[in-house]
Amino acid sequence: MPLMKPKTEVGIVGYGSYIPMYRLPAREVARIWNDGEGGVPIKEKAVGGPDEDTMTIGLEAARNALARAQIDPQDIGAV
């Protein structure tokens, strides 16, 4: 059986990230994760704001990826 080749090139040409601006202190993280026992190896945790959820955070990361790769969002079908 001959190898099938894609009609278009597919690959990763950029990456992006987004870190929410709000922070939760380590003592609060420890209170939730470890029943207040401490031992959490962080100083603070980034958390989404009141108007952010996983969808908006992912969207911002995707926008940053497109900007880093210098790709016009209109040139692709989906992220």
**Which pLDDT belongs to residue 51?**
94
**45 φ, ψ (degrees, to nearest 5):** -125, 130
The H or E element spanning position 46 is strand 44-47
What residue segments make up the domains of the chain, in order of their start?
A: 22-72
Does residue 37 have a pLDDT over 90? no
Give residue 33's pLDDT band: very low, low, confident or very high (50, 70, 90). confident
